Amino acid sequence: MVSRVLTTESGSSRPDSHFGRLVLDPVTDRPSTNAVIAWTTANAWTTGGSSSLTAIANFDDRQELCAGYSYNSAIPDHVLELSSDFDNLSITVNTGGKDTTLLIEGPQGVYCGDDATALNADALVQRDRWAKGLYRVWVGSGEPNQHYSYQLQIQQGDLP
């Protein structure tokens, strides 16, 4: 697995999100279609708030509940820009196992993720097809006003 840092734009140039824009280009020279390429954000941010993510959407494209609480349901935590279409992309919140949630709103609708596994409560959203464009990303906590430091990990390729 190759680890790369996403390009981030922050500071005064980020009025469209709390923590900035992440720009992602697909890796086209993977050794095989099964190779997983991972980008991990260099910055650590904090989840939490009292704004319910159900204010954005109750359910996603798979009828999964869009649970959790963020700082503000009107302004996303991040904007993810995909420079072209992606196959097999997953976005994971990495807190070391705290109870987190994800809500991603993009060109193809809303994607939500809650506890990834019984062993790891970090949220995960995984889809086979991601269209080029802008995705608004909210990282939430399972309960209101729970603040957890996190990084986003975005993986291209089939997960093991």
CA distance 39 to 56: 27
**Predicted confidence pLDDT, tens digits, the chain (160 residues):** 333 444 454 443 445 888 778 888 777 765 555 555 666 666 677 887 899 999 999 999 889 889 899 988 889 998 999 988 988 888 988 888 888 999 999 999 999 987 655 566 889 999 989 999 999 999 999 899 999 888 888 888 776 5
Cβ proximity of 151 and 123 under 8 Å: no
Task: Give the pLDDT confidence score for residue 94 in this predicted structure.
Answer: 87
Task: Give the pLDDT confidence score for residue 31 in this predicted structure.
Answer: 54
The domains of the chain, with CATH numbers, are: 2-156 (2.60.120)
What's the DSSP call for residue 65?
B
CA distance 130 to 115: 21
What's the DSSP call for residue 157?
S
User: Which positions ≥6 away from 153 have C-beta within 8 Å?
Assistant: 38, 39, 40, 41, 91, 92, 94
